[in-house]
Structure 1
Amino acid sequence: MAVSRSPATVAGEVYKVGDAAAWTIGGIDYHQWASCRAFHVGDILIFEYNPEGHNVMRVGREDYKSCNTASPIATYASGNDSIRIMGPGHYYYICGFEGHCQGGQKVDIRVFKVPQPTEVPSGGSPALSPHHTVAPAPAPAPVSDISPPGPSPSGGSRRLGALRDVALLFGISVFLV
């Protein structure tokens, strides 16, 4: 794979879920918190909490609505989880501790689809959209990448497709060899 720009890392926004209240039960309306933000592919969600009394479970829509913890897509329990958003769609998170989800410790992160350029300008690459920046990578921290919800192809083709989509999103020409 060859890239036609200088080596730069595309960094998204970093959101601490719940802001100062962090990830806890009571005291914050996570629905309200999420509805005031525009999440995009590449953004990072930080869940901070006491791991002795909370965790983070990524679940499907129906499990989110019913607070079902029986079959999570992923479970995080470090107390300081960083999760990078890798595709558009809804990402549903709940606390798996008894009664916490029912008490409001759940959040629906809606990631908007960014329109793909329909035409490449004569300069060779589409322009960056105003809400995205090209910047150095943030300080090293463990970040889990999350893929778009729903079925996905197996093997490397999904990664190549995702890399191509991210490159197109940020105006980087990519040539697959």
Structure 2
Amino acid sequence: MNAIIATIATLLSLIFQQCYIARAKGPVTFVVGDDLGWTLDGYPESWTLGKKFYAGDILEFKYDTEDANVVVVDKKDHDDCSVSDTSVFYSSGDDKIQLQFGANYFICSWPLNQCQMGMKVAINATAPPPSLLVH
């Protein structure tokens, strides 16, 4: 029994080391919605659960340009599913957007009801760990 526990502990340690090494190499790219992409099927509002985001990480939004877009908005526009003069629109179908330190908000504004149905995401990007900072 102790051998099994030791083996599991060793495997977990190796996994955590690999995650740390991957993070220590620099920003991480996250595909929003994972394999489902930037769609309602990808559950954008809950997609962030269990993920840690740092300033400088990159969100990759993959979607069909006939069915969606990506708009960087402020908190009010995110909550209201609206856009304003300061909103930044993307529509390539494969947009890569670097997270800024602090709150980052994204919605789909096309078609109009997508956001109200849950096609939006809010991410708080924290400062990178000291190992990622340039010395």
Q: TM-score range by the shorter chain?
A: 0.7 to 0.9
Structure 1, 29-38 or 48-57: larger mean CA deviation: 29-38
8 Å CA contact retained: 1:55, 1:96: yes
Instruction: Classify 1:23/1:72 alpha carbon distance in 2 versus 1 (closer, same or farther; 3 Å).
Output: farther
**How far off its partner does 1:31 sit?**
2.5
Larger proportion of helix: 2
Cross-structure match for 1:61? 75
> How many residues are paired up?
110
Cross-structure match for 2:96? 82
Aligned structure 1 segments of 4 or more residues deviating by more than 4 angstroms: none
**How far off its partner does 1:28 sit?**
3.2
Give the 5 Å matches for 1:9-158.
11-25=26-40, 27-85=41-99, 87-97=100-110, 98-114=112-128, 128-129=130-131, 132=132
Q: Distance in 2 between matches of 1:52 and 1:42?
A: 29
Q: Deviations over 1:106-147 (max 9, x none)?
A: 0002101347xxxxxxxxxxxx52xx4xxxxxxxxxxxxxxx
Query: Secondary structure at the residue paired with 2:78?
Result: helix
Q: Distance in 1 between matches of 2:95 and 2:55?
A: 17
Instruction: With the length of structure 2 as denominator, give the TM-score of the two structures.
Output: 0.73
Q: Distance in 1 between matches of 2:107 and 2:93?
A: 14
Q: Distance in 2 between matches of 1:44 and 1:74?
A: 16
Unpaired segments ≥5 residues, structure 1: 1-9, 116-127, 133-168, 172-177
**How far off its partner does 1:41 sit?**
1.8
Over aligned residue pairs, what C-alpha RMSD do you find? 1.8
**How far off its partner does 1:170 sit?**
2.5
Aligned-partner residue type, residue 103 of structure 2: H
Query: Secondary structure at the residue paired with 2:48?
Result: helix
Instruction: With the length of structure 1 as denominator, give the TM-score of the two structures.
Output: 0.57
8 Å CA contact retained: 2:45, 2:119: no
Query: Percent identity between the aligned chains?
Result: 34
**How far off its partner does 1:32 sit?**
1.9
Q: Distance in 2 between matches of 1:37 and 1:89?
A: 15
Unpaired segments ≥5 residues, structure 2: 1-24
8 Å CA contact retained: 2:38, 2:44: no
